[in-house]
């Protein structure tokens, strides 16, 4: 006898096919794998009847499995509406896990009221490797919640269940890909040939089912080995050797002040950052002395010029004029706003093609800045064609970088959370490294304006490095 749930599942499977929640053809997955089937359950939000049926099925499925929980949490973002409807139907509290913590207000990553040791049931739409569920689980467990079960609408059966099981999570899938194939074949929605293609695809040995290791899980030594930019390689090694990920922003206007800072603070930093156009007594001897101190104390020089013009103009700004920046800096900053021409222009003016690392501004730390998420994404796309000259990005969030060979520079660091009159927001060393994903934190006035810059610089160095080591242990 066919149970009520079995009948509803078959009807729902056909309805999902009807609204193109899954499609057959040739699709490139996030992992880069070519798949003959693609699931896009986001489309269900346009069909309230489907959302209702799916919610009802999941509800009955949970009852059949006799799963108990104190909280529900949908994996961002497709599963959020499902978790919301289930929360109402089950009269069960719900939590929301942000993909990134807010930089203002409570700065919470997990929203909602909960108690330590409460059990949380995860809701997800589609599982391939299970990496998204693991990311959500990690954040929930970090808050003291217990995660042991996950409800999944579709299991592609490509290693996700086994991977989750190894991490203490039992996955319960409403549908599996073989089940959907059989339902659609029996209803003549797909033919025998397509069914065979799909079944052959499922039966293939699973390749690369283990999620790609995040840069946040990797030591600077390992990342040096995969960095494509030679200067980035060297910088990673300096950071590990000196055990520092502190960048000093030497934003003062006299050459003697900068040289004194470089001499006294050089042992504790990996980068000294300048704004050469604010220096009132700039001269060639100053550059010679600064380079000597950089070599003596083993740190790199960064000119924070933030180039933002067309390629030809930028090439002249970089190599000509009073400052002749190309002759002395190791690192420099630039905007991606003008397009790839700016990188071509900078590259054309480089005296040594292997001795410059560019940091593109993907995000800014100032309140009200206009760099949108779309802009940030386009910046990352641009880097792919210039990996030989781009060392990293200036950014404020942990998930922009896919290539672990790139370095994230994060400004706005103070020992205590604060702000200034010009909209600059400051976060603690621990927050910069662990929440914002910074590899190197930029500190300026917090050190320079202190009564004892050397001792304060040591404190920043120690707290930033401890935060980096803690990040490795957590991940």
Delimit the domains of the chain by residue range. 4-203, 215-474
What is the chain's Cα-based Rg?
A: 26
Residues 304 and 273: beta-carbon distance below 8 Å = yes
Looking at residue 173, its pLDDT comes to 97
Residue 383, token pair as written in the block = 């880097």
Whole-angstrom CA distances from 438 to 13, 204, 219, 400, 401 are: 44, 39, 13, 11, 11
Q: What are the tokens at 294? A: 């950089």
Percent over 90 (pLDDT), the chain: 76
What tokens appear for 39 in the block? 């699931």
Q: Tokens 């069914």 — which residue?
A: 195
Residues 6 or more apart whose Cβ sits within 8 Å of residue 121: 62, 67, 69, 71, 72, 73, 149, 150, 151
- For residue 383, the Cα-to-chain-centroid distance in whole angstroms is 15
Write the CB contacts of 147 (distance below 8 Å, at least 6 apart in sequence). 119, 120, 122, 137, 140, 141, 168, 169
Q: Binding residue per annotation — 42?
A: no
Reported as type and span, the H/E element at residue 332 is strand 331-335
pLDDT over 80 at 107, yes or no: no
- 273 assigned to a ligand binding site: yes
3-state secondary structure 27-42: EECCCCCEEEEEECHH
Helix (H) or strand (E) run with residue 56 in it? helix 48-65
Query: Is the backbone of residue 32 left (phi > 0), alpha (psi -120 to 50) or beta?
Result: left
Claim: this prediction has a pTM higher than 0.85: no
Q: Is the pLDDT of residue 419 over 80?
A: no
251 assigned ligand-binding residue:
yes
| CATH 3.20.20.70 assigned to 215-474 | yes
- 283 pLDDT band (50/70/90 cuts)? very high
**What sign does the dihedral 123-124-129-131 (CA atoms) show?**
negative
| Pairwise CA distance, residues 186 & 14, whole Å | 11
Instruction: Give me the architecture of the 4-203 domain, per CATH.
Output: 3-Layer(aba) Sandwich (3.40)
Instruction: Report the C-alpha gap between 340 and 460 in whole angstroms.
Output: 36
Q: What is the pLDDT of residue 30?
A: 64
445 appears as a binding residue in the annotation? yes
- Residue labelled with tokens 């994903």: 437
Catalytic residue list? 304, 306, 309
Higher pLDDT: 311 or 374? It is 311
- Average pLDDT, rounded, for the chain: 91
Above pLDDT 70, what percent of the chain?
Answer: 92
> Across-strand partners of 462?
none
> What are the two backbone dihedrals, phi and then psi, of residue 66, each rounded to the nearest 5 degrees?
55, 45
């Amino acid at each position: 006898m066919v149970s009520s749930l079995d009948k509803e599942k078959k009807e729902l499977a056909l309805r999902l096919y009807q609204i193109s929640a899954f499609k057959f053809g040739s699709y490139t997955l996030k992992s880069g794998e070519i798949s003959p089937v693609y699931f896009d359950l986001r489309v269900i939000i346009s069909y309230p009847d489907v959302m209702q049926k799916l919610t009802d099925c999941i509800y009955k499925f949970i009852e059949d499995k006799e799963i108990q929980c104190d909280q529900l949490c949908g994996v961002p973002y497709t599963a959020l509406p499902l978790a919301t409807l289930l929360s109402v139907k089950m009269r069960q509290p719900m939590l929301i896990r942000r993909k990134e913590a807010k930089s203002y207000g409570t700065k919470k990553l997990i929203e909602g009221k909960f108690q330590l040791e409460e059990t949380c049931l995860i809701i997800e739409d589609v599982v391939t490797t299970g990496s998204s569920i693991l990311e959500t689980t990690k954040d929930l467990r970090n808050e003291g919640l217990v995660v042991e079960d996950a409800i999944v609408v579709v299991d592609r059966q490509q290693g996700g269940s086994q991977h989750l099981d190894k991490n203490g999570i039992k996955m319960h899938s409403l549908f599996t890909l073989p089940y959907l194939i059989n339902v659609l074949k029996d209803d003549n929605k797909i033919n025998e040939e397509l069914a065979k293609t799909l079944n052959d695809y499922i039966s293939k040995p699973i390749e690369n089912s283990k999620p790609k290791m995040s840069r946040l899980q990797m030591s600077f030594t390992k990342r040096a080995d995969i960095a494509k930019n030679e200067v980035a390689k060297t910088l990673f090694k300096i950071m590990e050797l000196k055990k520092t990920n502190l960048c000093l922003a030497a934003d003062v206007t006299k050459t003697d002040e900068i040289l004194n800072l470089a001499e006294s603070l050089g042992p504790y930093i990996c980068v000294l950052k300048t704004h050469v156009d604010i220096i009132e007594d700039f001269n060639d001897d100053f550059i010679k002395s600064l380079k000597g101190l950089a070599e003596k104390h083993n740190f790199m020089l960064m000119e924070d010029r933030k180039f933002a013009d067309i390629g030809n103009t930028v090439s002249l700004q970089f190599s000509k004029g009073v400052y002749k920046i190309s002759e002395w800096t190791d690192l420099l900053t630039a905007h991606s706003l003008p397009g790839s021409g700016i990188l071509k222009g900078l590259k054309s003016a480089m005296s040594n093609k292997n001795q410059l690392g560019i940091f593109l501004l993907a995000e800014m730390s100032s309140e009200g800045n206009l760099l949108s998420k779309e802009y940030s994404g386009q910046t990352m796309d641009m880097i792919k064609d210039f990996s030989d000259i781009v060392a990293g990005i200036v950014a404020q969030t942990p998930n922009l970088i896919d290539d672990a060979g790139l370095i994230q520079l994060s400004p706005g660091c103070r020992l205590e959370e604060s702000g200034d009159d010009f909209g600059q927001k400051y976060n603690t060393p621990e927050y910069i490294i662990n929440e914002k994903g910074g590899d190197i934190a930029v500190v300026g006035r917090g050190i320079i304006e202190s009564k004892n810059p050397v001792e304060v610089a040591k404190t920043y160095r120690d707290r930033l490095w401890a935060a980096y080591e803690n990040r490795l242990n957590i991940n």
